[in-house]
Amino acid sequence: MTKPEIIALISEQADITKKAATRVLDTFVDAVHASLKSEDGKIRISALGTFRVVEMAPRRGVNPRTGKEMTIPAMRVPRFTAAKALKQIVQGRK
């Protein structure tokens, strides 16, 4: 599903204009971004799951173009853990 499809769905189900639905979706995405940038780095949506930030340690890697070993620096990366309800829907149990 693409962003325009999500906007159309929100617009239809909430009985609002597509412009308002776009603002709703953009606000939600901005809230997720702001939450992940914060100290806590976590946002939990009960029926969907949890977005969190994980610290990855520096590690060794190989440059695929040159084949040379290199050190990949430490970084913060987003992770998503699905909620139980979402897992059940995907498995067809709900």
Is there a single domain that holds both residue 92 and residue 50? Answer: yes
For the chain, give the number of residues: 94
Model confidence pTM above 0.85: no
Is there a single domain that holds both residue 59 and residue 31? Answer: no
Whether pLDDT at 94 is above 80: no
Q: What CA–CA distance (Å, rounded) separates 53 from 75?
A: 10
pLDDT, one tens digit per residue, over 23-55 is: 999 999 999 999 999 888 899 999 999 999 999
CATH label of the domain that carries residue 58? 4.10.520.10
Is there a single domain that holds both residue 30 and residue 52? Answer: no
Is there a single domain that holds both residue 82 and residue 92? Answer: yes
pLDDT, one tens digit per residue, over 58-75 is: 999 999 999 999 999 999
The mean pLDDT value of the chain amounts to 94
The answer to whether the Cα torsion of 11, 17, 19, 25 is positive or negative is negative
